[in-house]
Amino acid sequence: MKIAFYDTKEYDQNSFLKANADGRYEFCFFDTRLTKETCRLAQGCDVVCVFVNDEVTGEVIDELVKMGIRLIALRCAGYNNVDIEYAYKRIHVVRVPAYSPYAVAEHAMALLLTSIRRIHKAYIRTRDFNFSLSNLTGFDLHGKTAGVVGTGKIGRIFMDICKGFGMNVIAYDPYPVENSGIAYVSLDELFEKSDVISLHCPLTAENRHLINASSIAKMKKGVVLINTSRGALIDAEALLSGIKERQIGAACLDVYEEESNVFFHDFSGHIVDDDVLARLISMPNVIVTSHQAFLTAEALANIADTTLENIENFFRDGTCKNEICYKCPQVNTCRQEHNEKCF
């Protein structure tokens, strides 16, 4: 079994090589992203393994099918970069639905604490032996209201962390978890009441630019926004305007709408062409990390193990518990049991 890995870094390679210690699979690692121009690199392989910024379009799917690729294995949970409707009855797609929800939730809280307690600024100062406390005043989380958008595993873990700080927690999800004890409210109410808003939902056509000029206007003045999910949940131009108008007190971003050509690369010696990103990073109340919320040793091990398990189940047993199928949300047309291939 030969697997082509796209958009890989050293930490990806190390985790997969460790998971493949018995040599069951042959790996081909590529640092380039999967596009219609690079899909030919997978010639002779059985599987392509992709990440969040790979472009799995209809054109790419057609080329992969022509080459005899039988499976697309995502080593991530989100799949907004995959045309799953076009893939149906052409090629199977599997994902890693939960590699470490704790990693992402903990990173979201780390961003929040760093921002509101000015830890990043204090670190830079003390490195220069500047021990002044001027302009480092933060605020308590205790007693504040956290609004969580999306109550899947990551969202619920983040809620528990917030409760540990003594925060009041409210949530919005179009598909509420029954009998969970979660205080669900409407999206407008969440915007109006929250001191901190954290996004923990997948990107869909319906929630693209969920945070926009209109929704920002409904928020508390000085609200802190956290996004560790998908960049396009936030209209970056509207976010920038909200910060400049002092409506948004701070933004903590691990993802960015146009990150695909920037994140995971070193541009420290170059001029970045993305003016919106450059202006966001220049703001004193914005923290940007490079889609690293998932990056823990535990998460990397789980990603590698689950990805290889998905591949083994597909070829050996014909089962795909982690298969993605665009019909799955349509309850009347899919049993959603995933004890067999979707087609």
φ/ψ of residue 87, rounded to 5: -70, -25
Residue that is written with structure tokens 């500047």 in the block: 130
> What is the pLDDT, as a whole number, of residue 331?
47
Give CA–CA dist 87/224, Å, rounded. 38
Which residue segments constitute the domains of the chain, with CATH numbers given?
2-99+297-317 (3.40.50.720), 101-288 (3.40.50.720)
Active-site pick, 75, 92, 230, 257: 230
Active-site pick, 259, 309, 337, 338: 259
Is 259 designated active site? yes
Token couple for 36? 């219609």
> What is the pLDDT, as a whole number, of residue 261?
83
> What is the pLDDT, as a whole number, of residue 333?
54
Give CA–CA dist 299/304, Å, rounded. 9
Give CA–CA dist 287/268, Å, rounded. 17
Is 106 designated active site? no
Angle at 324 between CA 319 and CA 326, to 5 degrees: 125
Of all helices (H) and strands (E), which one includes residue 172? strand 168-172
Active-site pick, 63, 92, 291, 323: 291
Is 200 designated active site? no
With 0-12 / 13-18 / 19 or more C-beta atoms within 10 angstroms meaning exposed / middle / buried, residue 210 is buried
Instruction: Single out the residue of 123, 48, 124, 102 nearest to residue 311, CA to CA.
Output: 48
Low-confidence ranges of the chain (pLDDT < 50): 331
Task: Supply the pTM of this predicted model.
Answer: 0.90
